[in-house]
Amino acid sequence: MINTGKLAGQTIFITGASRGIGKAIALKAAKDGANIVIAAKTATAHPKLPGTIYTAAEEIEKAGGKSLPCVVDIRDEAQVKSAVEEAVKKFGGIDIVVNNASAISLTGTAETDMKKFDLMHSINARGTFLVSKECLPYLKKSKNGHILNLSPPLNMDPQWFKHHVAYTMAKYGMSMCVLGMHEELRPFGIAVNALWPKTAIHTAAMNMLGGDDVARRCRKPEICADAAYAILIKDSKAPSSTGNFFIDEDVLKAEGITDFVQYACDPSNANDLMPDFFVGGGEPLVAAKPAAGAAPLGEVGKLFQAIESNLTPETVSKTQAVFAFVVTGEEAGKWFIDLKTGKGACGQGEPPSAPDATLTMDSKNFFNLFNGKLKPATAYMMGKLKIKGNLQQAMKLEKLMGSLKSKL
Nearest-Å Rg of the Cα atoms of the chain is 24
Render pLDDT for 278-327 as a digit per residue (tens, 0 to 9). Answer: 886 555 555 334 334 344 446 677 777 777 777 777 777 778 888 888 88
**Does 5 fall in a domain?**
no
Model pLDDT, residue 291: 39
Domain CATH number, residue 355: 3.30.1050.10
Count how many Cα atoms sit within 13 Å of the Cα of residue 86 in the half-sphere of its side chain: 17
The answer to the question of residue 273 being in a domain is: yes
314, 250: one domain: no
The conformation of residue 286, written as its DSSP 8-state character, comes to: S
Per-residue pLDDT of the chain (408 residues; tens, 9 = 90+): 899 999 999 999 999 988 899 999 999 999 999 999 999 987 776 666 677 899 999 999 999 999 999 999 999 999 999 999 999 999 999 999 999 999 999 899 999 999 999 999 999 999 999 999 999 999 999 999 999 999 999 988 888 898 899 999 999 999 999 999 999 999 999 999 999 999 989 886 666 555 566 778 889 999 999 999 999 999 999 888 999 999 999 999 999 999 999 999 889 888 888 888 888 655 555 533 433 434 444 667 777 777 777 777 777 777 888 888 888 877 777 888 888 776 677 777 777 778 888 888 887 777 777 666 777 777 777 778 788 887 777 667 666 666 655 555
**Burial of residue 348 (number of CB atoms within 10 Å: 0-12, 13-18, 19+):** middle
Q: Check: CB of residue 331 under 8 Å from CB of residue 361.
A: no
CATH no. for residue 218?
A: 3.40.50.720
Q: Mark whether 85 and 150 lie in a shared domain.
A: yes
Q: How far, in Å, CA of 135 to CA of 343, rounded?
A: 18
Give the 3-state secondary structure of residue 66: strand
> Do 251 and 311 sit in the same domain of this protein?
no
Quick one: pLDDT at residue 399?
Answer: 66
Annotated active-site residue 138? The verdict is no
Tell me, what's the pLDDT at 63? 95
Give the pLDDT confidence score for residue 404 in this predicted structure.
59
pLDDT at 32: 96
State how far the alpha carbon of 145 is from the alpha carbons of 129, 199, 320, in Å.
16, 28, 22
227 and 353 both lie in a single domain: no
Give the burial class of 74: count Cβ atoms within 10 A of its Cβ; 0-12 exposed, 13-18 middle, 19 or more buried.
buried
- Report the pLDDT value the prediction gives residue 292, as an integer from 0 to 100: 40
The verdict on 120 and 141 lying in the same domain is yes
268/308 same-domain check: no
306 and 238 within one domain: no
pLDDT of residue 293: 39
Determine how β-strand 35-40 pairs with β-strand 66-71. parallel
- Both 31 and 83 in one domain: the answer is yes
- Domain limit, last residue, from 293, 313, 337: 293
**Domain around 341:** 298-404
**What is the tally of structural domains in the chain?**
2
Q: What is the pLDDT of residues 1-48, one digit of tens each?
A: 899 999 999 999 999 988 899 999 999 999 999 999 999 987 776 666
Report the chain's terminal Cα–Cα distance, integer Å.
Answer: 37
Last residue of a domain, one of 244, 262, 293: 293
Residue 174 lies in a domain: yes
- Cβ-contact 14, 100 below 8 angstroms: yes
Specify whether 311 is located in the same domain as 272: no
Q: Which of 54, 138, 167, 229 is catalytic?
A: 167
242 and 266 inside one domain: yes
